[in-house]
């Protein structure tokens, strides 16, 4: 996270995770929305714009230093965005970092109903195909709990992370 142009690392005592197995839950209303295919899903075509969408809120930790750092990671192939587009443009999405079999979700935003949620569902589909083991959300929110999100103690998280990064 960034504060006054300086980047800090945080390690919460309870770490938020989203399951990538059958525990991942898609709420009924979102299932209906997905069946209508309201958005075209794109990957990595508007990374900086996704970050700007995520930063566009009253309080944000995404400043210029974070944006430039993550855009550099994107250029190196580590940072990725999932984007929801329609005829009016970019309507939502998310971004994060992939290292080995771990994905670190950083932030998401939505300009239209369900856009960020649909991006998350598509991310989970891709992570499953890629045999990723860990979807780290850092913090747990009620928004993420509806998908089966849960928390683990730091010590458990560190073991899961070590397994997901083995061989990197």
Q: Is 3 part of a structural domain of the chain?
A: no
Q: Is 37 part of a structural domain of the chain?
A: yes
Q: In terms of Cα–Cα distance, which of 146, 136, 119 is closest to 50?
A: 119
Residues 6+ apart with CB under 8 A from 58: none
**How far, CA to CA in Å, does 130 sit from each of 74, 100, 123, 133, 149?**
18, 10, 10, 9, 20
Q: Is 20 part of a structural domain of the chain?
A: yes
User: By residue range, what is the domain housing residue 55?
Assistant: 13-165
Residue 28 corresponds to which tokens in the numbers above?
Answer: 């009924």
Residue 100 corresponds to which tokens in the numbers above?
Answer: 């080995």
Q: Is 45 part of a structural domain of the chain?
A: yes
CA–CA gap between residue 157 and residue 44 (Å, rounded): 28
State the alpha helices, DSSP H only, in the chain: 28-36, 47-55, 64-75, 115-129, 142-145, 154-165
Residues for the chain: how many in total? 168
Q: Is 8 part of a structural domain of the chain?
A: no
Three-state secondary-structure class, residue 118: helix
> Into how many domains does the chain fold?
1
pLDDT along the chain (168 residues), means of 10: 66 92 95 92 98 91 90 97 98 97 96 96 97 94 94 96 88
Question: What pLDDT, on the 0 to 100 scale, is given for residue 1?
Answer: 61
CATH number for the domain harbouring residue 56: 3.40.630.70
Q: Is 109 part of a structural domain of the chain?
A: yes
**At residue 22, what are phi and psi to the nearest 5 degrees?**
-65, -10
Q: Is 5 part of a structural domain of the chain?
A: no
Q: In terms of Cα–Cα distance, which of 69, 57, 95 is closest to 6?
A: 69
Question: What pLDDT, on the 0 to 100 scale, is given for residue 121?
Answer: 97
CB atoms within 10 A of CB 18: 24
């Amino acid at each position: 996270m960034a504060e006054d142009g300086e980047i800090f690392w945080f390690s919460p005592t309870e770490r938020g995770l989203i399951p990538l197995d059958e525990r991942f839950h898609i709420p009924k209303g979102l299932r209906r929305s997905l069946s209508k295919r309201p958005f075209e899903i794109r990957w990595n075509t508007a990374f900086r714009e996704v970050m700007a969408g995520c930063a566009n809120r009253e309080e944000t930790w995404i400043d210029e230093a974070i944006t430039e750092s993550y855009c550099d990671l994107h250029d190196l192939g580590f940072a990725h965005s999932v984007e929801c587009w329609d005829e009016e443009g970019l309507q939502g999405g998310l971004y994060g970092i992939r290292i080995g079999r771990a994905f670190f979700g950083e932030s998401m935003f939505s300009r239209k109903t369900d856009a960020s949620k649909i991006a998350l569902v598509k991310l989970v589909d891709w992570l499953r195909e890629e045999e990723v083991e860990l979807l780290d959300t850092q913090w747990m929110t009620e928004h993420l709990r509806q998908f089966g999100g849960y928390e683990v103690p730091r010590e458990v998280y560190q073991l899961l992370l070590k397994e997901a990064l083995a061989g990197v």
